[in-house]
């Protein structure tokens, strides 16, 4: 009954732990890839008010022009890249739709997309569902999980169409240095490739400046930039993100979006307008709190003997559990059943995530403290 494409993608690796954890009480979950903050009140209010004011119909397919103009200004201010709000910006149903659109707009059957791992769980399935071939390339602990240009180079074939990556990274928390990105940009130019740069975590960086891939020399015309409001403004449930791309690519993206979903949710667009206008204070408060937890969890994990490089972005720490002699799925299962702490095994994010655990610090400081305490007991038995 099912199509070959639907059959070709595996079920999400996170799902089975969800079922176990859902039946248990008193579980502390560091397995959640979304903010623990509620949407800031004025942003929330703007969304609610828009409904009361009668904005319950579709917007234009590309999204409200006011929102696109504010977004263009925002990207220009932060990264010095200019996008034409009319032809180069599109408001999407979260970063997820943006990702799917980007892939479907450029991939023909058999086209290869290089996907550095570990990475967000949807990348490979989205490429497969578009008829493309995902080509995983590893990143490593000893390299702070930065993408190596040599490894990318080694995976390039005649069929290579694009490179798809996300920094700051889910699940590792890694960021890319400007030098590394410039090396990569040279290769992209030389090999005439496109880049889908998922920068959904761009505002969640600690002690460094985020480098936007489209802002690198000659890269805007090769880049499909994905961003969103979910992580920055704690708006995951609103389903609102965006895509910025050269007009020529946007033409294709626009059509798929138009026929697929019409437009992003209208109240979410109104809330996003408020976020761009007045949301900066909320962002800095949330970032400061994430940073405080980040220092707690990274120090805590290293003290338990779970080696962890310093993640500079997103809200994840990615410690190695190799010393315990367990593989990451066994570790996750035992830790959940014995100490009621939920983590996601690194292998859920690709081959090179094996032997690591994704620990989200998008949960309260006190809960992280308690989780570390429980993990200490666990490590006393198995460390």
Partner 1 sequence: MTDENNDQLDENILHLIETDARLTYTEIAQKLSSTESQVKSRIEELIKLKIIRKYTTIIDWEKFGKESYTAWVEIDLHPQAELGYDEIARKIGNHSSVQSIHLVSGTYDLVLVVKADKMRDITQLIADILAPFPDVRDTNTHFILRIYKENGEMMYEDRELLRGPFSP
Residue pair 176/167 in contact by the 8 Å Cβ criterion? yes
| Contact residues for 45 (Cβ-Cβ < 8 A; gap 6+) | 274
Give backbone dihedrals phi and psi of 227, rounded to 5 degrees, phi first.
-145, 180
Instruction: For residue 259, count CB atoms less than 10 angstroms from its CB and return exposed for 0-12, middle for 13-18, buried for 19 or more.
Output: exposed
The residue range among 26-34, 134-142, 221-229, 252-260 that interacts with partner 1, by the rule CB under 8 A, is 26-34
Q: Is 182 in the site for partner 1 (CB under 8 A)?
A: no
Binding-site size for partner 1 (CB under 8 A) equals 25
Shorter beta-carbon distance to partner 1: residue 120 or 356: 120
Q: Is 31 in the site for partner 1 (CB under 8 A)?
A: yes
Q: Is 298 in the site for partner 1 (CB under 8 A)?
A: no
Shorter beta-carbon distance to partner 1: residue 167 or 254: 167
Q: Which of 5, 8, 10, 38 is the binder for partner 1 (CB under 8 A)?
A: 38
Q: Which long-range contacts (CB under 8 A, 24 or more apart) does 75-78 make?
A: 75/212, 75/225, 75/227, 75/244, 78/212
Residue pair 200/227 in contact by the 8 Å Cβ criterion? yes
Q: What is the CA radius of gyration of the chain?
A: 21
Please state the separation of Cα 136 from the chain's center in Å: 17
The residue range among 53-61, 116-124, 215-223, 319-327 that interacts with partner 1, by the rule CB under 8 A, is 116-124
Beta strand 316-317 pairing with 241-244: unpaired
Shorter beta-carbon distance to partner 1: residue 17 or 254: 17
Q: Is 34 in the site for partner 1 (CB under 8 A)?
A: yes
| Contact residues for 52 (Cβ-Cβ < 8 A; gap 6+) | none
The residue range among 23-31, 73-81, 172-180, 297-305 that interacts with partner 1, by the rule CB under 8 A, is 23-31
Q: Is 120 in the site for partner 1 (CB under 8 A)?
A: yes
CA distances from 268 to 92, 93, 94, 227, 318 (A): 10, 9, 10, 15, 32
Shorter beta-carbon distance to partner 1: residue 161 or 293: 293
Q: Is 208 in the site for partner 1 (CB under 8 A)?
A: no
Which residues inside 306-365 make contact with partner 1, applying CB under 8 A? 342, 344, 348
Please state the separation of Cα 124 from the chain's center in Å: 14
Shorter beta-carbon distance to partner 1: residue 37 or 382: 37
**Binding-site ranges for partner 1 (CB under 8 A):** 12, 14, 17-18, 21-22, 27, 29, 31-34, 36-38, 120-122, 170, 288, 292, 295, 342, 344, 348
């Amino acid at each position: 009954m099912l199509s070959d494409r639907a059959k070709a993608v595996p079920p999400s690796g996170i799902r089975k732990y969800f079922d176990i954890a859902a039946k248990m009480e008193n579980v502390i979950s560091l397995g959640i890839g979304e903010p623990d903050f509620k949407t800031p009140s004025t942003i929330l209010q703007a969304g609610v008010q828009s409904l009361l004011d009668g904005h319950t119909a579709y917007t234009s397919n590309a999204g409200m022009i006011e929102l696109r103009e504010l977004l263009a200004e925002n990207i220009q201010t932060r990264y010095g890249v200019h996008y034409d709000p009319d032809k180069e910006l599109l408001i999407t149903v979260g970063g997820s739709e943006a990702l799917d659109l980007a892939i479907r707009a450029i991939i023909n059957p058999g086209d290869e997309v290089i996907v550095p791992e570990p990475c967000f769980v949807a990348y490979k399935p989205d490429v497969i569902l578009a008829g493309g071939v995902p080509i995983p390339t590893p990143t490593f602990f000893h390299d702070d999980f930065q993408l190596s240009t040599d490894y990318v180079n080694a995976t390039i074939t005649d069929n290579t169409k694009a490179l798809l990556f996300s920094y700051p990274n889910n699940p590792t928390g890694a960021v890319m240095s400007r030098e590394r990105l410039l090396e990569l940009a040279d290769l992209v130019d030389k090999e005439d490739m496109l880049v889908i740069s998922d920068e959904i975590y761009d505002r969640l960086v600690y002690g460094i400046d985020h480098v936007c891939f489209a802002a690198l020399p000659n890269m805007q015309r090769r880049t499909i930039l994905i961003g969103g409001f979910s992580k920055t403004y704690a708006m995951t449930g609103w389903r609102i993100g965006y895509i910025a791309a050269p007009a020529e690519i946007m033409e294709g993206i626009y059509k798929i979006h138009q026929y697929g979903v019409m437009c992003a949710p209208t109240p979410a667009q109104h809330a996003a307008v408020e976020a761009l206008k007045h949301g900066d204070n909320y962002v800095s408060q949330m970032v400061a709190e994430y940073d405080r937890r980040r220092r707690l969890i990274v120090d805590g994990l290293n003290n338990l003997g779970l080696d962890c490089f310093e993640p500079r972005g997103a809200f994840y720490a990615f410690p190695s559990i190799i010393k315990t002699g367990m593989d990451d799925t066994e570790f996750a299962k035992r830790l959940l059943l014995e100490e009621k702490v939920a983590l996601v095994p690194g292998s859920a994010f690709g081959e090179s995530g094996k032997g690591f655990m994704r620990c989200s610090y998008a949960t309260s400081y006190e809960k992280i403290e308690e989780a570390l305490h429980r993990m200490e007991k666990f490590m006393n038995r198995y460390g």
